[in-house]
Amino acid sequence: MTAPGGGALATRGGATVRRMKWSLELSLGNSSRSRGDRQSKDGDVMYPVGYSDKPVPDTSVQEADRNLVEKRCWDVALGPLKQIPMNLFIMYMSGNTISIFPIMMVCMMAWRPIQALMSMSATFKLLESSSQQWLQGLVYLIGNLLGSALAVYKCQSMGLLPTHSSDWLAFIEPPQRLEIMGGGMVM
Amino acid sequence: MAWLVVRLAISMSLLYTASAVFEDQVGKFDWRQQFIGKVRFALFDTHSQASKKLLLATDKNVFASLNSRTGDLFWRHVDKTGPEGHIDALLMYGQDAVVVVGNGRLLRSWETTVGGLKWETVLDTGSFQAAALVGVQDFVKYVAVLKKSAISLHDLSSGSEIWVENLPDSDSVQYQTIYSGGNGLVLVLGVVPNSHIVIVEYKIEDGEIMNKKSVEAAWMSSLESSCAVVSSGILLCVDQITQSLYTLPLQSAEQTEMRQIHLQTLDLEVVSGFRPVLTSTQPNPAQPPLSEFFLQLSPDHHILLQFKDGLIAPLRDFNPAYLAAFATSGERTVAAVMSPKNDTACSINLFSADTGRRHLDTTIIYHMDPNGGKPNRLYVHAFLKKDDSVGYRVMVQTEDLALTFLQQPGRVVWMREEALADVVTMEMVDLPFTGTQAELEGEFGKKADGLLPMVLKRLSSQFILLQAWLAHLWKLFYDARKPRSSVKNEVTIDVLSRDEFNLQKMMLMVTASGKLFGIDSKSGTILWKQYLENIQPNSVFKLIVQRTTAHFPHPPQCTLLIKNKDTGLGSLYVFNPIFGKKSQISVPALPRPILQTLLLPVIDQDYAKVLLLIDDQYKVTAFPSTKNVLQQLQDTASSIFFYLVDSSQGKLSGFRLRKDLSTELIWEVVIPTEVQKIVAVKGKRANEHVHSQGRVMGDRSVLYKYLNPNLLAVITESTDTHQERSFVGIILIDGVTGRIVHEAVQRKARGPVHFVHSENWVVYVYWNSKFRRNEFSVLELFEGAELYNSTVFSSLDRPHPPQVLQQSYIFPAPINTLEATLTEKGITSRHLLVGLPSGNILSLPKLFLDPRRPEMVSEQSREENLIPYAPEMPIREEWFINYNQTVSRVRGIYTAPSGLESTCLVVAYGLDIYQSRVFPSKQFDVLKDDYDYILISSVLFGLFFATMISKRLAEVKLLNRAWR
């Protein structure tokens, strides 16, 4: 559906074809064709030649920004630790009875640190730009471990951990008997 | 987590301890059969033509009325057991049935239509001799009761005593019979053995002695067995030594000697050693008896004779004839005679009594059961047909206590197996798989012979299964088109197969009369029966299942040990429990008395468990005793122990098997018989499984149970029965080492003691004679917080004694029998089944019988779900598993596990048999009966379709959005 002429004629569909007979793209050549196609999809804005829609990054690093990054990274690293008082409060409020809500709480409390620990590498990537990357990672790890320890403690206090001998009672096999015995009253 | 599950399970079980059935469950999985016992008296209600009643009095002290068309019970009265309730005589006149009970203690009159008591009188003491209805001028108004030293006359309508008279010379004369011919006199006949007969005449109005005479009769020892009154007051006696008949007119003054008629003159002869029997009939008590009578000369020779003008004339000779009986309808009296036809059948014919002529077309063919006994009693019900001829029905009682009711021309109207009123022991055996299932099983049982034949075999058996399934579908389809009523679900041996959950089993019942029964546990249908002849009445039976149905193609095998109490000799009867057929296996000869048996878990090459029989020289006989078995026995001999308890010597002794099948005594405990005697001893049931090895405490530690499989509970009772000094003792003793594990004594208590020994506990019931009440006591044994050896149990290596806990409770009722429920894996909580004298069976949760029940409730005990101790044990009506289906005189309860862990099969037997299922922890592994399948499936399907539709809609919407 290209019309003959000096430039490539782009059409966007039958309906458009009906609306306008032709359109001209100013940029020439195969390399810019694809870009022109994309541009035409984004809107019917024609960019002047040589225009790039990607912003040019500002490469000059400023001291204030660096502080900001550090701060941001510490926020990420301290996040799990900050949640602990909150978790403690929830733990206290939910009590030790076994019912659906405390169980849900415990599950959430246990699941969140585990999830965080599993996505540790992603977090490290986040902290990449910080200078105290390793310290922050350690703090983050400790915070999560503390969180899961708290969950385990909660499970323990609720009696959900198989730490007693009674929890393994069902798995004890009846002992094998060595003697065969029988008899009774004299018939 | 396990702890959580246990906690949840306990709290659930607490919620649902009530185990009553719902109204719509009645009869769904339970049934009851009522029995009466061996018939001693049977009378047909003849006062109206349409009457269907048959009155029976039995040796089980039961007085009952049967529907003669169906054999069902109209009503039944069960009296006390033993001589107190013994029914001495049954007389019937019109609507009234008069019964003398308890060796002449009570005289009762029953209304026969509904079975209501009309009146009851207490008679004077004295042993009962005879009772008779007394009529005056064609009306029966009185009943006379003869005791050893007195005669009394009672009014028939009110029971009031008219008069009572002492008999003259009652210490030397044995008065035995009463005769009244309706002429205003009651005659009492007595005999001084081998000397003379005494006849005393009493006036009916006031009991005045009108006449008294004695007649010489030196040959006579007993009136009752050899004499009868015929015609108008002629005493007729028979004597086998002189081979003569003697006659005496009772009321003639001139004749002082009995007239002798030699049997030779009638061309008759009594078989030597047989006591001849005279049978006469008196159709109406207000009139003299008929002049015709039967004389039985040998076990199968009867003769009908007539007494006329002082002469005796034979009317008809019945040779051979097993049984003969008179019956009267209206004015006509007939005689029914049973004669052998061939080996398997008898023919019964009707003859007119006055001429001896045979009635035409009155033959009834009675087919004898090849597995049953010989007929020994004949009861005839004669009635007038519309054309004024006499019709009749007969009831035949056989040696094996089967009652068969027949009508012409030999149709069996109904049959009752009264032997089942006295079940001695029973077992339950799994049913076999169906033929197709067995085919598959057999495939794996056979030895492998190459890959290709195995594949082919597999394919062929799969094809057979497919065929069977298609046939089943076709049958379903075919039956669905028929009206529901015509589809009969008859249970026969051929269609018997194990159901999905193994809930249907074969009940093997051994009865005191020596008859074995195989009964389908689901419906109560008798599938086979086998009468073992020549069983002594007091024999001891022991039923052993040697091979179950699990070893296809080997048939299951049961062994019955029958021990004759008099000679002490035992015999073995080996049979297939499913089909009841006697097995062809050779049985070892047992020349010496057998003391005990021991079933070993050792199996021979045919998968039969080995049975050891211990004789009075403590030598052991193995059955089966193949080379393989003997080899295995030699290998394991050092670990086979047995114990014997001799109650008469108060001795418990333990033996160990030697390699040469002799034994050595290894321990002996003597309990002095002057102080106490051993009443009972029980080990644990061999098929019992204990799932949990301990109990969880409130602090979540474990208290381990002392599960000694060799532990025996021995119950003793004091010989001193004084209520202050009597006691009941219990000794827990290890059967291997003889070590006494625990001993307890209940002071001021006496038996009968009922007890159950299971898992790590013993529950026993006794009578507390101080407080005059029944008490339950429970003993529980624990090993402590640590197991000594968790892998093997050896009685020879138990250094620590167990901790013993005990608690007692008051039970507000006497009990007849006690048993515990049993399940497949032992996970389900246990209940005790208590048979009460009222006939109810109480399912009592073991939870209530727990020695750890605390007096003060603490946090820990609450955590453990222990009920605080209360001395009184409750009886709740909803715990009765048999609601109103009471079991009279319940004597034993048998429990068996089913394929479902929640379900335990229960059979209670006594006079009646009741079968049911109990669910001690509710049916946790089965959907409820009223489970709403429609709702659930419609919701499921609804959700499924809703998901499908919404998914499609969502797709469309997404697509549309993409197009926008």
Residue B190: alpha-carbon gap to chain centroid = 40
Q: Which pLDDT value is given to residue A17?
A: 47
Cβ A175–B789 below 8 Å, yes or no? yes
Query: Given strand B209-216, what is the order of strands in its sheet?
Result: B174-179, B185-192, B196-203, B209-216
Closest approach of A165 to chain B, Cα-based (Å): 6
pLDDT of residue B6 exceeding 80:
no
Q: Is B139 within a domain?
A: no
Distances (CA, A) of B484 to B258, B479, B480, B489, B925: 72, 8, 8, 11, 31
- Give a yes or no: residue B408 inside a domain: no
Answer yes or no: do B432 and B570 share one domain. Answer: yes
Which pLDDT score is estimated for B271?
Answer: 82
What average pLDDT does range B887-907 have in this prediction?
93
Query: Of B670, B685, B713, which marks where a domain is finished?
Result: B670
Q: Name the closest residue on chain B to residue A168, using Cα atoms.
A: B2
Q: Kindly report, residue by residue over B318-330, the tens digit of the pLDDT.
A: 888 889 999 888 7
| Range of the structural domain that residue B429 is part of | 422-444+497-587
- Tell whether B659 and B560 lie within a shared domain: no
Nearest to A177 among B6, B642, B709 (CB): B709
Q: If you search the block for the tokens 């399970």, which residue do you land on?
A: B9
Residues B429 and B524 in one domain: yes
Stronger pLDDT, A45 or B183, i.e. the higher one: B183
A166 and B CB contact within 8 Å: yes
Q: Name chain A contacts of B4, Cβ cutoff 8 Å.
A: 98, 159-160
Residues B667-690: what's their mean pLDDT?
Answer: 91
* Interatomic CA distance for residues B686 and A181, integer angstroms: 10
Least Cα separation, residue A124 to chain B (angstroms): 36
Closest CB to A178: pick one of B596, B787, B792.
B792
Portion of chain B with pLDDT greater than 70, in percent? 95
Q: Within this chain, do residues B429 and B576 fall inside the same structural domain, yes or no?
A: yes
Residues B436 and B530 reside in one and the same domain: yes
Give the chain B residue nearest A97 (alpha carbons): B4
Nearest Cα to B847, choosing from B819, B862, B866, B834?
B866
Instruction: Say yes or no: B559 and B602 in one domain.
Output: no
Q: Is B432 found in the same domain as B547?
A: yes
| A159/B3 Cβ within 8 A | yes
The count of other CB atoms within 10 Å of the CB of residue A66 is 13
For the cut 60, the answer to whether the pLDDT of residue B487 exceeds it is no
Least confident interval from A67-76, B424-433, B603-612 = A67-76
Give the domain-ending residue among B567, B587, B607.
Answer: B587
Among chain B residues, CA nearest to A181: B641
DSSP readout, B355-394? T-PBPTT--EEEEPPTTS--EEEEEEEEEE-TTS-EEEEE
**B174-179 and B161-166 as β-strands: parallel, antiparallel, unpaired?**
unpaired
Q: Can you give the pLDDT at residue B232? A: 82
Chain A environment of B710 (Cβ under 8 Å): 177, 179, 181
Do B598 and B579 sit in the same domain of this protein? no
Residues of A in contact with B599 (CB under 8 A): 182
* pLDDT digit string, tens, across residues B115-163: 899 999 998 888 898 888 888 877 888 899 998 888 999 998 888 888 8
In a domain, B633, yes or no: yes
Average pLDDT estimate for B197-215: 87
Q: State the Cα–Cα distance between residues B860 and B704, nearest whole angstrom.
A: 17
Any domain includes B338: no
- Rounded distance, CA B182 to CA B138, Å? 7
Residue B369's pLDDT is 86
Given an 8 Å threshold on Cβ–Cβ distance, is B639 in contact with A178?
Answer: yes
Tell me if B337 sits within 8 A of B349, measured CB to CB: yes
From first to last of its 187 residues, chain A has per-residue pLDDT tens of 444 444 444 444 444 445 677 776 665 544 444 444 444 444 556 677 777 777 777 666 566 777 888 888 888 888 888 888 988 898 888 888 888 888 888 888 889 888 888 888 888 887 777 777 788 888 888 988 998 898 888 888 888 888 888 888 888 888 888 889 988 888 7
> Alpha-carbon torsion B5, B10, B13, B15, what sign?
negative
Which of B1, B3, B787 best probes binding to A when mutated, by most A CB atoms within 10 angstroms?
A: B3
Q: Is the peptide bond before B799 cis (omega within 30 degrees of 0)?
A: no
**Residue B13 pLDDT grade (very low, low, confident, very high; cuts 50, 70, 90):** very low
Is residue B564 domain-shared with residue B635, that is, in the same domain?
no
Residue B1 in this model has a pLDDT that exceeds 90 = no
Which residues in chain A have their CB less than 8 angstroms from residue B644's CB? Answer: 183-186
Q: Which of B248, B199, B356, B347 has the alpha carbon at shortest distance from B293?
A: B356
pLDDT value, residue B838: 92
Residues B436 and B568 in one domain: yes
Q: Nearest 5 degrees, angle CA B399-CA B400-CA B406?
A: 80
Q: Which residues from chain B sit within 8 angstroms of residue A179, using beta carbons?
A: 639-641, 710, 736, 794-796
Per-residue pLDDT for B686 more than 70? yes
Shared-domain flag, residues B508 and B535 = yes
Distance of residue B869 Cα from the nearest chain A Cα, in angstroms: 25
For residue A175, the chain B residues in CB contact (below 8 A) are 707, 789-793
Report the alpha-carbon distance of residue B226 to residue B586 in Å, rounded. Answer: 47
Task: Report pLDDT for B491.
Answer: 64
Mean pLDDT lowest among B254-268, B589-603, B668-682, B841-855: B254-268
Query: What's residue B500's pLDDT?
Result: 81
The reported pLDDT for the residue numbered A45 is 64
What is the number of H-type helices and E-type strands within chain A? 6, 2
Of B587, B617, B634, which residue is a domain's last? B587
Q: Are B807 and B783 in contact (CB under 8 A)?
A: no
Tokens linked to B91? 């007389």
Which chain B residues touch A168 with a CB distance below 8 Å? 2
Length of chain A in terms of residues written: 187
ipTM of the assembly? 0.73
Distance CA B499, CA B899 (A): 9
Residue with tokens 């049985």: B587
* Structure tokens given for B799: 């250094």
Q: Does the beta-carbon distance from B700 to A178 stay under 8 Å?
A: no
Q: For residue B920, is it within any domain?
A: no
Q: Domain for residue B629, yes or no?
A: yes
Provide the strand spans (E) within B45-160. 53-58, 62-67, 73-78, 87-93, 96-101, 106-111, 117-122, 128-136, 139-147, 150-155
On whether the CB atoms of residues B654 and A182 are closer than 8 A, the answer is no
Does residue B933 belong to any structural domain of this protein? yes
Question: Which one is predicted more confidently, B435 or B704?
Answer: B704
DSSP, collapsed to helix, strand or coil, labels residue B607 as coil
* Contact call for A181 and B601, based on CB within 8 A: no
For an interface test with A, the pick among B600, B692, B693, B699 (most A C-beta atoms closer than 10 Å) comes out as B693
Query: Are both B662 and B535 inside the same structural domain?
Result: no
pLDDT in tens, B369-392: 888 888 889 999 888 888 888 888
Residue A163 distance to chain B (closest CA, Å):
9
Give a yes or no: residue B288 inside a domain.
no
Average of per-residue pLDDT across B780-798: 89
Q: Over the range B330-356, which residues count as b (16 or more CB within 10 Å of their CB) and which as e?
A: eebbbbbbbbbeeeeebbbbbbbbbeb
Residues paired with residue B732 on neighbouring β-strands, in sequence order: B713, B742
Number of domains in chain B: 3
- All residues of chain A having their beta carbon less than 8 Å from the beta carbon of residue B787 are 172
Reported as a single tens digit per residue, the pLDDT across B409-419 is 888 999 999 99
A175·B2 Cβ contact <8 A? no
Residue of A nearest to B711 (CA): A181
Would the CB atoms of A174 and B795 count as touching at under 8 Å? no
d(CA B294, CA B335): 9
Contacting residues of B for A157, CB less than 8 Å apart: none
Position A1 scores a pLDDT of 40
Residue B304: what are its φ and ψ, rounded to 5°? -95, 120
Q: Is A14 on the interface with B (CB under 8 A)?
A: no
CA distance B963 to A13: 13
What is residue A62's predicted lDDT score, i.e. its pLDDT?
66
